[in-house]
Amino acid sequence: MTTQEILENEQEFQLTTYSKLDLAIVRGRGPWVWTSENETYLDLYGGHAVCAVGHSHPEVVRAIAEQADKLMFYSNVVYSDIRAKASATLVSIAPEPLAKAFFCNSGTEANENAMRIARLATGRSKIVSFAKGFHGRTADSISATFLGKYRTLGEPNVPDHVEAEFGNIDSIDSVIDTETAGVLIEPIQSMAGVREASPEFFKSLRQKCDEVGAALIFDEVQTGIGRTGEWFFAGSKAAGEVVPDVVSLAKALGSGIPVGACLVSEELARSIKENDLGTTFGGGMVAMAAVKATLDVIEADGLTENARNIEKWVRDACASNADVKAVHGKGCLLGIEFENGARPVYQKLLGEKIITGLSSDPNVLRLLPPLNVSESEIALFAEALNR
Ligand SMILES: Cc1ncc(COP(=O)(O)O)c(C=O)c1O
């Protein structure tokens, strides 16, 4: 099918809920994707922050295919070798005391379950989250999303959600109290324009949560699985080495096979009993094969380190560009801030066959590339940016 035929077909048979590029992508390898007319694009948006090991990584493809041939699916009613291996690997890379995994199917579902874990563990209902954070579109997650129009779209919202100011230590003191079940934070606010908070802020959050007995939850749907140059934002220097009680994950975890997860501390895990959480598809065999292979490739190819290199190459490229006001973020979650709007740059880069992303800040262009982009590929971006 031609791009035009695909486009017309999608428009005829699908709800028009997405603002789309006029591209029909039919093939991908590494950071490269091809249209149905065989045009090549450099994908620095990483398939929407999903393809951390690049598109259709051969090791991940092989693992999925082999697993699909053996057993595509059985639910959590039975034990599974591949689920055992995937959860052991995931827990082995997580900072202590995160010790147990719960698998689901998406980022929003991971956050729903993270909040439920906090409520079950504390017997309280109030959730504190932050202005301009994004946590997903299902009822509880959208109610915790204080970014633009999203929360309104989710009305009537789930009760007992309270907003605090991101990065402002003073603002959390009065809001987080002994009625608070959990504090949910996107540790780098990606969609808001790659906004960061200080390590001191995360330390204060940890201290305050401990003081009142609330669970601290990091939404690492974007920052997790190596993207910021560490396996997790949790426990990193940027987090003041703070480890939350729950980390929610999705996006890169399955390289495009839908999978989400909550990583839960040993202590909080003790309050979760049979039937408290559940999902049919969570922990399915093909998804688990994708998780295991993705984590193995990141480890074997040293991709957390390469994510840090990519940040340096991008920062160097931007340092010599007079139109760039600042570069925000870490590793492969970067926001390039322009003085007079990011959209014209985004469109011109697209004209140069480079896919990047926008954000809710009109001046910030987002890069969410695969973690294995090379220096020469970033040089192509740098040249196009200068042009
Ligand atoms: C930080 C964050 N949390 C949660 C979500 C929701 O994830 P999903 O779209 O898989 O439900 C997203 C999606 O963009 C996200 O960026």
State the CATH number of the domain containing residue 11: 3.90.1150.10
Q: Are residues 286 and 311 in the same domain?
A: no
CB 94 within 8 Å of CB 111: no
Q: Structural domain of residue 21, as residue ranges? A: 3-56+303-368
In testing the pocket of ligand 1, which one of 135, 145, 189, 218 has its CB within 8 Å of the most ligand atoms? 135
Q: State mean pLDDT over 51-78.
A: 98
CB 19 within 8 Å of CB 353: no
What is the token pair recorded at 374?
Answer: 């090379």
- Which atom from ligand 1 is nearest to the alpha carbon of 223? 1
Establish if 78 belongs to a structural domain.
Answer: yes
Q: Are residues 20 and 112 in the same domain?
A: no
Q: State mean pLDDT over 214-239.
A: 98
Q: What percent of the chain has pLDDT over 90?
A: 99
Spatial distance between the Cα atoms of 183 and 202, rounded to a whole number of angstroms: 11
Q: What pLDDT score was predicted for residue 35?
A: 97
> At 76, is the pLDDT very low, low, confident or very high (cuts 50, 70, 90)?
very high
Q: Are residues 244 and 163 in the same domain?
A: yes
Q: Are residues 270 and 339 in the same domain?
A: no
Please count the structural domains in the chain.
2
E strand or H helix that includes residue 41:
strand 40-43
Residue with the nearest Cα to atom 7 of ligand 1?
A: 107
Establish if 376 belongs to a structural domain.
Answer: no
Establish if 90 belongs to a structural domain.
Answer: yes
The residues lining ligand 1, judged by C-beta closer than 6 Å to any ligand atom, are: 106-108, 111, 134-136, 186, 190-191, 219, 221-222, 250
Residues near 312 by beta carbon (within 8 Å), at least 6 away in sequence: none
Q: What pLDDT score was predicted for residue 111?
A: 98
pLDDT single digits (tens) 41-58: 999 999 999 999 999 999
Output the CA 207–ligand 1 centroid distance in Å.
27
CB 186 within 8 Å of CB 135: yes
Q: What pLDDT score was predicted for residue 166?
A: 98
Q: Which one of 300, 321, 346 terminates a domain? A: 300
Q: Report the mean per-residue pLDDT for the chain.
A: 97
Sign of CA dihedral 29, 30, 36, 38: negative
Establish if 383 belongs to a structural domain.
Answer: no
> At 202, is the pLDDT very low, low, confident or very high (cuts 50, 70, 90)?
very high
**Identity of the amino acid at 91:** V
Output the CA 2–ligand 1 centroid distance in Å.
31
Q: Are residues 110 and 32 in the same domain?
A: no
Spatial distance between the Cα atoms of 235 and 301, rounded to a whole number of angstroms: 22
pLDDT single digits (tens) 285-302: 999 999 999 999 999 999
In testing the pocket of ligand 1, which one of 222, 358, 360 has its CB within 8 Å of the most ligand atoms? 222
Spatial distance between the Cα atoms of 223 and 249, rounded to a whole number of angstroms: 9
Establish if 379 belongs to a structural domain.
Answer: no
